[in-house]
Amino acid sequence: MTKSALKKELHQAIDDMPDAGFLQAIYRPFKEYALGIEQDCQLTVLEKAELLEPERLHLSGTTKSYTVSHPGKRILSGYKKEEKE
């Protein structure tokens, strides 16, 4: 069963469920699982700083950056130099 098909069936089953107590019983473990995943994805201050370091270096001008067309221009300029020789 695909993910989207499973979601549709779950939504339909929840909409059709007459017993709110049963829904709460199913919701509690789901909520705990979802919170556990969310907490596992939290980054520490050092991890965040490490992820942001390349951007900081780029914005300060310490590292070079190129546009998509830049390599093409360099290649073409190299071919033009070889043709002249």
Q: Which 3 state secondary structure label does DSSP give 18?
A: coil
Report residue 4's pLDDT band, with 50, 70 and 90 as the boundaries: very high
Give the residue extent of every domain in the chain: 43-85
Report residue 5's pLDDT band, with 50, 70 and 90 as the boundaries: very high
Residue 83 has pLDDT above 80, yes or no: no
pLDDT tens, 26-46?
Answer: 888 888 888 777 666 677 889
How large is the C-alpha radius of gyration of the chain? 27
Question: Considering the entire predicted model, what is its pTM?
Answer: 0.37
3-class secondary structure per residue, 20-81: HHHHHHHHHHHHHHHHHHHHHCCCCHHHHHHHHHHHHHHHHCCCCCCCCHHHHHHHHHHHHH
